[in-house]
Amino acid sequence: MMKTRTAFGVIAASAAALTLAACGNNQNSENAAPTADPATSTPAPAPSMAPTEDIVVAASTAPDFTTLTAAIQSAGLAQRLSSPGPFTVFAPTNAAFDKIPAADRNALMQPAMKADLTKILTYHVVPGRLVAADLAAQAAANNGTATLTTVQGGKLTLRDAGGGKWEITDAKGGKATITMADQARTNGVVHVIDTVLMP
């Protein structure tokens, strides 16, 4: 099932930013995870220790998320991620950001593009704490797909792609794969992805 490892991104920081004001406690049944069915869920092994760092602190020291960290800083959202949440973050790696043409990436980091950058970053954050088993249970209860509402307001569709991989489809039809799941933090959970999602 989904690979679990400890290292993830700060993108939650961005999404958390907008989530705080409007989505602090999401009551949307769409995101309420049903009880996992042992036959279809993908439980993650219990961590040996409880997490001691929030999403921002953990991401700021992860070498695979320097681009995401810079984006969070450019959008002015990092400080928000220290809030209690909880948040579920789909965090793109540096390699995921490298798939975007350099000119477009650089443009997004400019002050004039702050609103667009914020929209993209918050599209990667879902209110609540949804671990891999929750996502699998939602998909099992909905004909193989789980639909989540992001802090940005758009939808993400997740499905089991087979071979232990989960695929996320964004609003533009783009696809990302979860490469590491269930990165626990004090204020949420992070799932590492290989492609930036676009609202």
- Over residues 154-165, the pLDDT tens digits come to 999 999 988 888
Once rounded to an integer, what is the mean pLDDT over residues 117-134?
Answer: 95
Alpha-carbon gap, residue 143 to 165, rounded angstroms: 17
Alpha-carbon gap, residue 177 to 65, rounded angstroms: 16
Alpha-carbon gap, residue 92 to 117, rounded angstroms: 14
Once rounded to an integer, what is the mean pLDDT over residues 43-60?
Answer: 68
Predicted local distance difference test score (pLDDT) of residue 162: 84
Say if pTM beats, i.e. exceeds, 0.85.
Answer: no
Ranking 1-10, 62-71, 132-141, 159-168 by mean pLDDT, the lowest is 1-10
Is the peptide bond preceding residue 111 cis, with omega within 30 degrees of 0?
no
pLDDT, tens digit, 9 for 90 and up, residues 73-103? 899 888 877 788 899 999 999 999 999 999 9
Closest CA to 180 of 132, 141, 129, 117: 132
Predicted local distance difference test score (pLDDT) of residue 82: 74
Predicted local distance difference test score (pLDDT) of residue 89: 93
Predicted local distance difference test score (pLDDT) of residue 79: 80
For residue 20, is pLDDT > 50?
no
